[in-house]
Amino acid sequence: MSQTKGRLYGVGLGPGDPDLVTLKSVKALQASSVVAWFAKRGKKGHARTIAEGLIPSGAVELPLVYPVTTEIPHTDPDYNRQLAAFYEEASQHLAEHLEAGRNVALLCEGDPLFYGSFMHPYMRLKDRYDVTICPGVTGMSGCWTANGVPMTWGDDVLMVLPGTLPRDDLAKRLEMADAVVIMKLGKNFQKVYDVIESKQLLSRAFYVERGTMQGEIVMPLAEKTDGQAPYFSMIIIPGEGRRPE
């Protein structure tokens, strides 16, 4: 690829604690003259918050602000259309800098290739520009460490589930797993709680909010009886070690 074009860095920043940012990610930031990040309107976003103090002085900051999609149900085709248009436009903004020979660091909470928004511009730009992806400590890793209970023993099967799945899907998949991580709670919290309870897993489950960040909450799920949770939280069910069948 042309030497004059910039390089895109997907910069994984870990779950929140700045001490969990890797040296590779720090070096990628230092090598970039443009620092971009995704955020909701009016919010700084977790990735930019974690990167505080790591942005090179003089770097151009490029916030990529999501369209307001909260009023549109996720099942509405309009939701996906708006998001696709947004990612297309965001990719074009990044491409303008790359085309001009500037290295661009796109900040990512956790790991860039694990449910990360980074993947959308990455898939659009990867064949046109050089890309370096810096992996990050995942949110779930930060959360189970905050919980301090071993997560998988021996042949335990770990399942990662988005809380957005329908109730029946969640129930079926819970039956198959030994250890479970359920992400994307928010409005889905009570549904997920009910399914876990119906599968007699409540006593093994933990709730983690803002794992490794300021304001971290870690508690047994059974004690979380207020029926609500922010999006930035997860439920973890540690495995107990598979017994031979």
Ligand X SMILES: C[S@@+](CC[C@H](N)C(=O)[O-])C[C@H]1O[C@@H](n2cnc3c(N)ncnc32)[C@H](O)[C@@H]1O
> Nearest 5 degrees, angle CA 7-CA 8-CA 11?
130
Q: Residue 129 or 232: which CB sits closer to ligand X? A: 232
Q: Of residues 86, 87, 114, 144, which one binds ligand X by CB under 6 A?
A: 114
- Contacts of residue 76, Cβ cutoff 8 Å, sequence gap at least 6: none
Q: Of residues 45, 121, 211, 238, which one binds ligand X by CB under 6 A?
A: 211
**Residue 233 in contact with ligand X, rule: CB under 6 A:** yes
Q: In Å, how far from its chain's centre is CA 89?
A: 21
Q: Of residues 205, 212, 224, 236, which one binds ligand X by CB under 6 A?
A: 212
**Residue 115 in contact with ligand X, rule: CB under 6 A:** yes
**Residue 38 in contact with ligand X, rule: CB under 6 A:** no
Q: Residue 5 or 147: which CB sits closer to ligand X? A: 147
Q: Of residues 16, 45, 121, 135, which one binds ligand X by CB under 6 A?
A: 16
CB 160 within 8 A of CB 138: no
Return the SS3 of 49.
helix
What distance in Å separates the CA atoms of residue 60 and residue 237, rounded to the nearest whole number?
Answer: 42
Burial (CB count <10 Å: 0-12, 13-18, 19+), residue 83: middle
**Residue 238 in contact with ligand X, rule: CB under 6 A:** no
Other beta carbons within 10 Å of 53:
7
Q: Residue 94 or 140: which CB sits closer to ligand X? A: 140
Window contacting ligand X (CB under 6 A); options: 19-27, 35-43, 164-172, 230-238: 230-238
Window contacting ligand X (CB under 6 A); options: 22-30, 60-68, 92-100, 139-147: 139-147
**Residue 10 in contact with ligand X, rule: CB under 6 A:** no
What's the min distance (Å) between Cβ of 36 and ligand X?
Answer: 16
For β-strands 60-65 and 34-39, DSSP reports them as parallel
Burial (CB count <10 Å: 0-12, 13-18, 19+), residue 19: exposed
**Residue 79 in contact with ligand X, rule: CB under 6 A:** no
Q: Angle between the 189-198 and 167-176 helix axes, to the nearest 10 degrees? A: 50
Total residues at the site for ligand X (CB under 6 A)? 24
Q: How far is CA 190 from CA 226, 232, 236, in A?
A: 9, 15, 15
Q: Residue 154 or 186: which CB sits closer to ligand X? A: 186
What's the min distance (Å) between Cβ of 185 and ligand X?
Answer: 6
SS3 of 85-98: the string is HHHHHHHHHHHHHH
Contacting ligand X within 156-195 (CB under 6 A): 183-184
**Residue 208 in contact with ligand X, rule: CB under 6 A:** yes
Residues contributing to the site for ligand X (CB under 6 A): 15-16, 109-111, 114-116, 138-140, 142-143, 183-184, 208, 210-213, 231-234
